[in-house]
Amino acid sequence: MSTSVTYVSCSVFRATSVYLVQQVVPMLPRRLCEDLCSLNPGSDRLAFSVEWLMDAEDGTIMEEEWFGRTVIRSCCKLSYDHAQEMLDDPTRDFSPSELPPVEAPWTPSDLARRVSALQQVAARLRARRTEGGAIRLDQPKLAFGTDKETGMPHVSDES
């Protein structure tokens, strides 16, 4: 009886998920990464959280942070494209049919406002880091797609 385990089936050898053309090899077992540890909307999750009040203008922490055990619940599973659409068109009134389901009491406009607010804070923090001497290392993003007819991979024109 063999006790050897292949690289693909053993998460102990991976520090991150591996993204291949038309396939993802998750870092953790699928039951964990797709269900038990995933922030699926409407599911309570036990977490260790940090809470603080931050000045939205300059990103400074205004009060002492709190660390503790919490129960968190995601209200929607936005894709990067959905969030980018909210940033690109901040006055747009998204209808429920344009987004994945949004758990009550939240609405699409609530999500759009929060995505915009987080982007503004991120921009201020990034500017503060740059002013403090941080450097930015731009690296090209290599992406692959597949030919719709043959299924063969090709380099995408994303950058």
pLDDT band at 114 (very low <50, low <70, confident <90, very high): very high
Q: Is 113 a residue whose pLDDT tops 90?
A: yes
Average pLDDT, the chain: 84
Q: Are 12 and 135 in contact (CB under 8 A)?
A: no
For residue 3, is pLDDT > 70? no
* pLDDT higher at 11 or 103: 103
Tell me the HSE value of 109 on the side-chain side, using a 13 A CA sphere.
3
- Tell me the whole-structure pTM to 2 decimals: 0.70
pLDDT band at 11 (very low <50, low <70, confident <90, very high): low
- Give which of 121, 147, 157, 122 is closest to 21, Cα–Cα: 147
Give mean pLDDT, residues 122-150. Answer: 82
- Which residues have C-beta within 8 Å of that of residue 32, sequence separation ≥ 6? none
The DSSP H or E segment spanning 155 is strand 153-155
Model confidence at 154: pLDDT above 90: no
Kindly state the greatest CA–CA separation across the chain: 63
| Confidence at residue 12, expressed as pLDDT on a 0 to 100 scale | 63
User: Per 3-state DSSP, what percentage of the chain is helix, strand, and coil (rounded to 5)?
Assistant: 30, 20, 50
Query: Is the pLDDT score of 1 beyond 50?
Result: no
Q: What is the pLDDT of residue 47?
A: 94
Give the integer Cα–Cα distance in Å for 115 and 90.
10
At 15-43, the pLDDT tens digits run: 788 887 778 888 888 888 888 888 999 99
pLDDT of residue 107: 94
The pLDDT value recorded for residue 7 is 46
